[in-house]
A and B are shown apart, each in its own frame.
Chain A
């Protein structure tokens, strides 16, 4: 047993000659959140994928409590265009053999929670980007995961929609208290949504910085001084993480 937390111990991963993750260790307590940020190609997505069990770990270990369920939101949401909003939402339950009435009731409740009322018959192509992302979040939440993994969940959205959805995610977390991890390119997002913030580097792909965010958990934290100072810290760490890469480039 590992007492209700995710533990990653000296995890490394190579694709051929390319080391995408090198000696990553951390723990994430239940009900907490972690933002992972780093330059492109630093293995952020691979880390999520390994934790989700979609990619095998090279060296090292990922330990999850055996009772934990995980859900993964892919970068492009992964909604099925041939399924209506309701069917997309209910699919995880359907795959587990939950009856029609029960899973549709759950889907309807999820629509209400995420502000998707009245869209149950629509297909993904008929939705806006923000609505699609809500459906993806709903589909991940409907099986009540203990750990929600998100790969650049809001990257394709405009600034306003993005902020709305960040608030929505925080709202959902307030109610459900699941753990979540997200990969992002956006420093402000990493700080706003991370109880912990991890900065990854490239070459070597090690952890550059691990920060605790004391003001996490409230939508008003966007105005606090702690928030801005954390943004500055993460920003500086990111610049340092990218420097060795630039030096290697030919003049």
Chain B
């Protein structure tokens, strides 16, 4: 309990320091360039009551969550497969590593053409960005898995499916969860880009639309919402990691 309070206190101090810096900036630049934090917070609280902002938040949140779920569902099993099956890895990995450095965001117009202007193309794009990181990290995690665990499992005599469930998946989970957490930041950034074209919904649209109209206050409401969305997604991953990989936390604490 004391630790929780301590963490809370430190985060509050950090939040206030940031708001203070923001306030100084607002004084220096004036309300047209940088609206004051209290004005933004007030406008944001107001807008969250109306139908528009919550709707944008909802569609952004759904997109990023669907994308991250999709990324996990494809990349984690595939990473385990590539890490464990050297033969498949030999042929598939060069493909992965050739395309890995490609900034996936440049494919946005291609995806919009291929998969239409709806949510699908945007979700796929975000999933692709996040999924690559999970894939690469999971594969490496399995490749460097201590052979002792494989030997130990062999002495117990389980099936390949049981090997995946009891050894490979839990062994790869901590690093894959970390990459999901780190990737959540990239996911929200790609979300912004993917929402700033050819759509009428989402925080990316809201921000660019308000910017075009010169509505600084609304634009900052969008920016604030997007930051909070990023924070919530990141922290959710962080908590999930702590709960699911408790053994790893204990190991690190030693």
Find chain B residues with CB under 8 A from A91 CB.
156, 166
Among A69-77, A99-107, A158-166, A187-195, the stretch that binds chain B is A69-77
A123 touches B246 (CB 8 A): yes
Assess the A78–B149 pair: CB atoms within 8 A: yes
Q: Which of B157, B158, B167 has the most CB of A within 10 A?
A: B157
Cα distance A91–B154 in the bound complex, in angstroms: 12
**Which of chain A's residues have a CB closer than 8 A to the CB of B158?**
95
Of B156, B245, B250, B254, which contacts A95 at CB under 8 A?
B156
Would B155 and A82 count as touching, CB distance under 8 A?
Answer: no
Decide yes or no whether B31 CB sits under 8 A from chain A: no
With beta carbons under 8 angstroms apart, the residue of A54, A71, A123 that contacts B247 is A123
Chain A residues with CB under 8 A of B173: 82
Q: Which 9 A-B pairs have the closest CB atoms?
A: A78-B152, A82-B170, A72-B155, A95-B158, A123-B247, A125-B251, A82-B247, A92-B156, A125-B250
Cβ–Cβ contact A71 & B155, under 8 A: yes
For B166, the chain A residues whose CB sits under 8 A away are: 80, 83, 91, 94-95
Residues of chain B having any CB pair with chain A under 8 Å: 148-149, 151-152, 154-159, 162, 166-167, 170-171, 173, 245-248, 250-251, 254
Q: Shortest distance in angstroms between A119's beta carbon and chain B's nearest beta carbon? A: 14
CA distance A139 to B246 in the complex (A): 22
Is A52 in contact with B155, judged by CB distance below 8 angstroms?
A: yes
Q: Between A and B, how many residue pairs show CB distances below 8 Å?
A: 54
Q: Pull 16 A–B residue pairs with CB atoms less than 8 Å apart, ordered by A.
A: A71-B155, A74-B152, A78-B149, A78-B151, A80-B149, A80-B152, A80-B167, A82-B170, A83-B170, A94-B166, A95-B156, A95-B158, A95-B159, A123-B247, A123-B250, A125-B251
Q: Report yes or no: A54 in contact with B155, Cβ–Cβ below 8 A.
A: yes
Q: Are A126 and B250 closer than 8 Å at their CB atoms?
A: yes
Residues from chain B with a CB closer than 8 A to the CB of A83 are 166, 170, 247
Docked complex Cα distance between A94 and B166 (Å): 10
Cβ–Cβ < 8 Å partners of A54 in chain B? 151, 154-155
7 more contacts with CB within 8 A, not counting A74-B151, A80-B167, A83-B247, are A74-B152, A74-B155, A78-B149, A80-B152, A82-B170, A83-B170, A95-B162
Closest to B244 in A: A82
User: Does A20 make an interface contact (CB < 8 A)?
Assistant: no
Residues of chain A in range 158-181 having any CB-CB distance to chain B below 8 Å: none
Cα–Cα, bound, A81→B148 (Å)? 12
The verdict on A64 contacting chain B, using a C-beta distance below 8 Å, is no
- Choose among B148, B154, B246, B254 the residue that contacts A76 (Cβ–Cβ < 8 A): B148
Q: Which residues of A contact B245 (CB under 8 A)?
A: 82
| Interface status of A79 (Cβ within 8 A of chain B) | yes
Contact A81 B155 (CB under 8 A): no
Determine if B250 and A82 form an interchain contact, defined as CB atoms under 8 angstroms apart: no
Q: What B residues does A71 contact at CB under 8 A?
A: 155
Q: Which of A74, A82, A95 contacts B148 (CB 8 A)?
A: A74
